[in-house]
Amino acid sequence: MGGIVVAGTHSGSGKTTVTLGLMAALRKKGLTVQPFKAGPDFIDAGLHRLAADQISRNLDLWMCGPDYVKSCFTKHAAGADIGVVEGVMGLYDGDRSTATLAALLDLPVVLVVDAYGMAESAGAVVKGFAEFGVRSSTFGVKFAGVIFNRVASESHFARLRDSVRDIPVLGYLLRDLDFEIPHRHLGLATVEEIPLCKESLARLADVMLERINIDEIIQNAGSRNKESGNLEGAEDAKNGKSIRIAIARDRAFSFYYEDNFDMLREAGAEIISFSPLADEAIPDSDAVYFGGGYPELHAEALSRNESMRSSVRNWAESGKAMYAECGGLMYLSQAITRDDNKYPMVGIFPFETRMLVKPRLGYREVTLREGSIIGSAGEVRRGHEFHYSEIVGERAGSAYQVTDSRGKGLTNEGFRYKRTLASYIHLHFGSDARCASQFISYVREK
């Protein structure tokens, strides 16, 4: 079992394109690829699934800690020929950087360098990144090689290649590469919107196989010592019959940590899916889980589905367990306002939400002020926040005390109505081993 980390010199260097192309090329060579994404990103992880035909896992050191991250990588890469980890931002950026993750997992780095507007200076950039990582006692980065992106021509690549010393130059992608991932306000388009067709990925794989030394990447990936793959996740709560958790999954709701579902299953849950866009009612289940996504883009259709809105409202009124994050919170509010149009939503909470121009984002630590579906009073959970909307109107109390990753106090939130809990914060259940089992126990209380 080997692996590599795809990192960039900066955000926008092309590491997502290189990562997707590498996964597709490795698959074309007959290898089983297990994808991973550094940090809390849902969208890149979803795109990985299209290229690798495997569920991608988030490796986040701040939310889950090093032990969980190592176990997650080991567990899910164990059945693959190679693990491919897409980094976040620039290689050394952040308190818990891609370089820190690569060192923790003992994986070599493929460095993606945006070559637009430079030639021999690229050698200095690569040398600086290499020496900074090797000499630093914090990182100790090993490099598998360099891939140049946005190269003008073969002669341009020759100048770039000849400027690099002591690190393999693995190849290049041309500036006019016929491959683009659609964007929108939260980033790239989601996998549910099928932004990449099979033909496009196949062409990208062919380009990678033609211009990138894939065999050298495979060789440099090497292998890791096998360690325990047991995640410190859900405690075993399988006393009694399995409970059914209905997950809202469609084009409006698609942002979930797959590990959360795994931990819920291990704690005694059966996961089923439904669509607030297309279905008439919540399916037969014991609890409902609304994740994030793009409800604002589908607000008219969500509002028009009065049967589903009524079903969700009746569910909450009857005191059944329901949990919602970000887009789910927006759906449970009175209305979503977008482009001066107001679309009625479920109406469980007294406030509305409206779209903003700038995002609100960052890591979040929540201390539970009272017992709820995700834990007991005083316990701490971690997650992240990323949205372009805000709450308008009465906030009706808060179940969470919230700080950022540096401990700075933020506006408290986490909203309760009977046995419904909703928040803007996407929680990772790997941040506390008790979370999934407490979720199941709460549902069983009824």
HEC secondary structure over the chain? CEEEEEEECCCCCCHHHHHHHHHHHHHHCCCCEEEEEECCCCHHHHHHHHHHCCCCEEECHHHHHHHHHHHHHHHHHCCCCEEEEEEEEECCCCCCCHHHHHHHHCCCEEEEEECCCCCCHHHHHHHHHHHHHHHCCCCCCCEEEEEEEEECCHHHHHHHHHHCCCCCEEEEEECCCCCCCCEECCEECCHHHCCCCHHHHHHHHHHHHHHECHHHHHHHHCCCCCCCCCCCCCCCCCCCCCEEEEEECCCCEEECCHHHHHHHHHCCEEEEEECCCCCCCCCCCCEEEECEECHHHHHHHHHHCHHHHHHHHHHHHCCCEEEEECHHHHHHCCEEEECCEEEECCCCCCCEEEEEEEEEEEEEEEEECCCECCECCCCEEEEEEEEEEEEECCCCCCCEEEECCCCCECCCECEEECCEEEECCEECHHHCCCHHHHHHHHHHHC
326 is catalytic: yes
In one-letter notation, the amino acid at residue 320 is K
In one-letter notation, the amino acid at residue 175 is R
> What is the distance between the alpha carbons of residues 341 and 176, in angstroms, rounded to a whole number?
39
CA 52 to chain CA centroid, nearest Å: 15
Nearest to 385 by CA among 407, 360, 358: 360
Q: Which of 64, 72, 197, 326 is catalytic?
A: 326
- What are the structure tokens assigned to 159, written together? 């100048």
- What are the structure tokens assigned to 315, written together? 């569910």
Backbone angles phi, psi at 419, to 5 degrees: -110, 25
The pLDDT value recorded for residue 60 is 97
- Tell me the whole-structure pTM to 2 decimals: 0.91
Contact 347, 302 (CB under 8 A): no
Which residues are paired to 338 by β-bridges? 341
| 317 C-beta neighbours (distance < 10 Å), count | 12
> What is the distance between the alpha carbons of residues 192 and 20, in angstroms, rounded to a whole number?
16
Backbone angles phi, psi at 365, to 5 degrees: -115, 130
| 394 C-beta neighbours (distance < 10 Å), count | 11
Nearby residues of 185 by Cβ (< 8 Å), 6 or more positions away: 359, 388
Are β-strands 143-151 and 109-114 bridged in parallel, bridged antiparallel, or unpaired?
A: parallel
- What are the structure tokens assigned to 132, written together? 């900074």
The interaxial angle of helices 61-77 and 98-105, nearest 10 deg, is 40
> What is the distance between the alpha carbons of residues 176 and 150, in angstroms, rounded to a whole number?
7
Q: What is the mean pLDDT of each run of 10 residues along the chain (446 residues)?
A: 92 94 96 97 89 96 97 96 96 93 95 96 96 70 95 97 96 83 50 65 93 96 61 55 93 95 97 98 98 95 98 98 98 95 97 92 96 96 95 87 95 94 97 96 91
Which residues are paired to 37 by β-bridges? 58, 86
The pLDDT value recorded for residue 187 is 47
For residues 331-357, one letter each, b for 16 or more C-beta atoms within 10 angstroms of the residue's C-beta and e for the rest, the string is: bbbbbbbbeeeebbbbebbebbbbbee
Contact 20, 197 (CB under 8 A): no
The pLDDT value recorded for residue 232 is 55
| 401 C-beta neighbours (distance < 10 Å), count | 17
- What are the structure tokens assigned to 281, written together? 């009612």
The pLDDT value recorded for residue 395 is 82
Contact 161, 137 (CB under 8 A): no
